[in-house]
Amino acid sequence: MGGKIERSQISLVRCLDDDWELWSFPPSKRAQFVRHLGSPKQAGGDTIVALPLRYTVSYATWVPTLEKEVVPEIVQLQLEKRGLVQRQNAPSTLDVRVLESKEDKSLALATVLLSELGPELAFEKAKRFEPIPFTLPLPQDRLILWRERQRLAITVTRGRDPIHFQVLSAEEVSDEVINEIRCALLQLESQRLLHDLLGLAVWGDFTEDETDRLQKGLSLKVFRESVPPPNLPARTSNLLPPEVAVLHEKAKRRRRIRRLIAAAAGIYLCCILGIIGYIFWQQRRIAQLQNQIYAELPTVKAIQNTADQWKKVEWAVDPKLYAVELLHQVASLLPPQGMRLTAFQIEKGKVIIRGEASTAAAAFKLHQDIKQSPGLKLFQWDMKSPSLRPDGRAEFIIEGEPTGAKVD
């Protein structure tokens, strides 16, 4: 039924004569009349519908048990025997409540929801359906009479609980109507469902002639009263028309879909916000690193200058770059015979080796040996094609460029 609804968030619609009324329930106050309606669907918001008696059938009976959990099943079996309900009927079309328990039996009142529900009552905002007698402050041990949609309607109370209610066959008081009421009262008395009635309460606009006719025909004292404001029933009815149950299920699915869409949108939004936050964090990190770079730039430049100065003096302080050491490394690669060095010089860090070999092949081998020598890896060695002399000897020039900084 949509869960518990706060008193101040719900309204009630009821039908008297040919008019629908809308009532609200302010906190800690009596019900307040809001306005007349052309249809209950115009109420707006969550609504309790006071079911007109034309859509219900009441059945009261004594049940030989004190176990309240068993009473509805026994009453349903009795209603099936009388053809008022069928076993395949939806459980929401029958409401059974225990009015009284004594000795070894319980007094139960069943309300059956008829299938011919008015189209004006099938709307989604109708959260609860309550038989109209349960929404009224009923007088004790009375017969109550009022008009409902061009028909007379009655409710009979046992104490302050309704024990029977029905619509009658006509709108005006007549002998036929009085006989119809007598039959209903006689049946209740035969089943020992009534206390002695204290009178007849006539609600609404009735003429003096009608009240006199009722008093004489029923032998009851007549009390003419206005229809009282409604009450919220202390016990919630189980009645829910199948048409409205379908509308509630559709609304539940829509709410579920909306929640899923909202959750997906929330996740998407969180992802977007996460990406934006990550971008801002990265930008802030970049700014911090840039500030750090700017702050350390003078130190870096100073270190760089020192490194440049060191590279300039590296030739003078690194033993591996001494001219004598380089000459020793090259000389150690010369073959025992057939080759000699004619010049060894260093110009601005560049090593120039000149020499003579017995063959060009020997010159190329020396070039390869120099390139592969671990002690000479600080240079990139290159050799032009040797020039051959008339006597067959080959003159060669091997040059080594330093892989590090050059000396100016």
All residues at 6 or more sequence positions from 268 whose CB lies less than 8 Å from its CB, including other chains: none
Class of domain 320-402: alpha beta
* Residue 150 half-sphere exposure toward CB, CA atoms < 13 A: 0
Q: What does the pLDDT read at residue 300?
A: 82
Per-residue pLDDT of the chain (408 residues; tens, 9 = 90+): 444 445 556 899 999 887 899 999 888 778 899 999 988 888 888 899 999 999 999 999 999 999 989 999 999 898 888 887 776 555 568 899 999 998 889 999 999 998 888 888 888 888 889 999 999 999 999 999 999 988 999 999 999 999 999 999 898 999 999 999 999 999 999 999 999 999 999 998 899 999 999 999 999 999 999 999 999 888 888 888 888 888 889 989 999 999 999 999 999 999 999 999 999 999 999 999 999 889 888 888 888 887 777 666 555 556 667 788 888 888 888 888 889 898 988 887 788 999 999 888 888 989 999 889 888 888 899 998 898 888 889 899 999 988 865 545
Q: Which residue has the tokens 């009815």?
A: 237
Q: Are 117 and 55 in contact (CB under 8 A)?
A: yes
Q: Are 223 and 201 in contact (CB under 8 A)?
A: yes
Q: What is the CA radius of gyration of the chain?
A: 55
Q: What does the pLDDT read at residue 92?
A: 64
Q: What does pTM read for this prediction?
A: 0.63
All residues at 6 or more sequence positions from 243 whose CB lies less than 8 Å from its CB, including other chains: 117, 122
Alpha-carbon distances, residue 352 vs 101, 320, 326, 396, 397 (angstroms): 126, 16, 11, 10, 7
Residue-wise burial string across 48-66, b where 16 or more C-beta atoms lie within 10 A, e elsewhere: bbbbbbbbbbbbbbebeee
Q: What does the pLDDT read at residue 328?
A: 86
- Could you give the dihedral angle defined by the CA atoms of residues 361, 367, 368 and 373, in that order, rounded to the nearest 10 degrees? 140
The residues of the chain that CATH labels 3.30.1360.100 are 320-402
User: Of 12, 48, 54, whose CA–CA distance to 31 is shortest?
Assistant: 12
Beta strands 200-203; 222-225: pairing state: parallel
327/255 Cα distance (integer angstroms): 92
Q: Which residue has the tokens 């009851």?
A: 220
As a three-state string, the secondary structure of the chain is CCCCCCHHHCEEEEEEECEEEEEECCCCCCCEEEEEECCHHHCCCCEEEEECHHHEEEEEEEECCCCCCCHHHHHHHHHHHCCCCCCCCCHHHEEEEEEEEECCEEEEEEEEECCCCCHHHCCCCEEEEEEHHHHCCCCCCCEEEEEECCEEEEEEEECCEEEEEEECCCCCCCHHHHHHHHHHHHHHHHCCCCCCCCCEEEECCCCHHHHHHHHHHHCCCEEEECCCCCCCCCCCCCCCCHHHHHHHHHHHHHHHHHHHHHHHHHHHHHHHHHHHHHHHHHHHHHHHHHHHHHHHHHHHHHHHHHHHHHHHHHHHHCHHHCHHHHHHHHHCCCCCCCEEEEEEEEECCEEEEEEEECCHHHHHHHHHHHHHCHHHCCEEEEECCCEECCCCCEEEEEEEEECCCCCC
79/123 Cα distance (integer angstroms): 28
All residues at 6 or more sequence positions from 357 whose CB lies less than 8 Å from its CB, including other chains: 338, 339, 363, 366, 386, 393, 394, 396
